[in-house]
Amino acid sequence: MKSQKRSQSKSKSKSKSKPKSHLNSSQTIDDSDIYRIIDDITLKHARSSYGIYVSENFQAEKKKDPSLKSYEIWRKLSQKWQNVPESKKKDYERKSEEEREKFKKDLETVRHYLFGDYKKEGSTAYRLFLNSRLKEAFEKDEDPKEVKKIASEDWDKMSNEEKLQWKRKKEENDDWWEHAKKSRHINAYAVFVQKKIEEANEKGEETPNFKKCAKLWNQLNDKQKKKYEDAAEEMNEERKRMRELFEIANGIQPKKPAGAYKIFLSEKAKEGIFKGKSNVLKEGRKLWEKLSQEEKDEYLNKAKKIRLCYIYKKMLYKKNRKKILPSKPRSAYNFFISSMRGKSPSKNEPFLAMCRKKWSKMSENEKEKFEELADEERKKYEKKLEKFQNRVFDIPKRPKSAFQLYVMDKFNGVKDENKDFTAPEVLKTVAEEWNKLSDKKKEKYEEKAAKDRERFKKQNVEFKEFGYYTKSREQKEEEKEKKSQSQKKRSQKKSQSQKKSAKK
């Protein structure tokens, strides 16, 4: 009976510590909740009882003797720790346990916030069901927010058999990994073009070219365009969520998050406030200063929320890297310590203190064999590290077309010749030059594009299997060129600034 009770209690404790796989809408954390508790979330790993003792007493030891170096203070504290009474050690253990519990709670909170309905068993099926409803609403000019509410209610009322049909559809029609790769930003015009192509395919008509689509788009009024803008916004929200999931699942290196002011600037840029204005940062700063504290707090909360996601993703990225990161090489002294294992020190002398004494008394000839072992291990480590540094923990870059390669080659030259030209005007002139090129001259760029496609295929296969891909020779050469160019630019800027200061 006792063993049964113990096993039951163990299973209960395990279920409590793990985040639930099925979250109802009431269990997921919304924006208002996350803003309320966000300041208390740290996502810092718990310290050990000894670690807490060191952090509490380090500064006091430093004040006593400022001449002491850090490692000397740690050594002193480690000796003092051995004499700390058990009652005080228990207090430090209790603090360590509290930190562990807080870390678990914070981690679960962030997981719930990040995943939301994706943690549901049928979440992907639900998303497919919701998308079908939103598509119908789009055709009927219905409000997407109202459709979402009704769809969630209908989904909850559905039987398991009906839900299973949507799950099967999702398995047949959609691979989430492939979908996540297509998680780039989409605009209203792109949604319109996509819809026109779908309509033509359904009717069995010839697919419209971009010129025809552009004419049809210009004929639409503001109300009709707004419909496509709302649809694009909905799609971008979904794509962003898929990208978040993809990064978390594959342990991809996350990009540094934007701050409150940067989020504000990007929102205002989308609204078209900075159109035709030369100094965007100056204009943006004026608008930011005019905001009330409540309005600023909204952007600050958004930035906090993004920061929280970034910390969580970075933690998983580091964990993923640690699995394959080569362990650091041991020093000659470390090899000596391992050779001393099994040799018992005197009663009053700790093992490491005995090792330090013996090592300090050893001659250079006696230390030589340990230094050779350390040198061999360092060489092996450097070879492994070189391989590791050539790995990229991100989705392989998409292959460039022949035209894109031509644009990259000619853009700066055209810009230098026509300094008054804007970027779209430069692109237009480069496109005109491309159209005039003969097939023989285009061949060079077509070959480069074919090589780039092959590179993408190889890297994609490697990434799917291992979660990273290895850099190609071309990539390494490009990186070297970029570094050398940036160094040249820096040196030029330095010399220019020095000349200016000398003239003054």
pLDDT digits (tens, 9 = 90+) for 385-410: 887 778 777 778 888 899 989 998 88
Domain 13-116 belongs to what topology? DNA Binding (I), subunit A (1.10.30)
Query: End-to-end alpha-carbon separation of the chain, Å?
Result: 91
Instruction: Return the minimum-mean-pLDDT range out of 95-99, 233-237, 248-252, 417-421.
Output: 248-252
Bigger pLDDT: 125 or 454?
454
Whether the model clears a pTM of 0.75, i.e. scores above it, the answer is no
The secondary element (H helix, E strand) that includes residue 470 is strand 469-470
Token representation of residue 212:
């025809």
Domains 13-116 and 392-472 belong to one CATH topology: yes
Q: How confident is the model at residue 368 (pLDDT cuts 50, 70, 90)?
A: very high
pLDDT attached to residue 144: 67
pLDDT attached to residue 352: 80
Structure letter (DSSP) for residue 82: H
CB proximity list for 396: less than 8 A, separation 6 or greater: 455, 456, 459, 460, 463, 469
Is the model's pLDDT at 2 over the cut of 50?
no
Q: How confident is the model at residue 121 (pLDDT cuts 50, 70, 90)?
A: very low
Handedness of CA 465, 470, 474, 478 (dihedral sign): positive
Average pLDDT, the chain: 78
Is the model's pLDDT at 473 over the cut of 50?
yes
Q: What is the DSSP string of 367-430?
A: HHHHHHHHHHHHHHHHHHHHHHHTEE-SPPPPPPPHHHHHHHHHHHHHHHH-TT--HHHHHHHH
CATH superfamily, region 392-472: High mobility group box domain (1.10.30.10)
Domain boundaries of the chain, sorted by first residue? 13-116, 174-324, 332-389, 392-472
Each residue of 446-464: pLDDT tens digit? 999 999 899 888 888 887 7
Cα 423 from Cα 180, distance rounded (Å): 30
Handedness of CA 282, 283, 288, 290 (dihedral sign): positive
pLDDT attached to residue 172: 57
Alpha-carbon torsion, ordered 173, 396, 388, 454, to 10 deg? 100
Cα 20 from Cα 111, distance rounded (Å): 10
Using CA atoms, how far residue 225 sits from 133, 228, 231, 240, in Å, is: 20, 5, 10, 22
Tell me which range, 69-78, 158-167, 309-318, is most confidently predicted by mean pLDDT.
Answer: 69-78
Cα 437 from Cα 410, distance rounded (Å): 13
Q: How confident is the model at residue 183 (pLDDT cuts 50, 70, 90)?
A: low
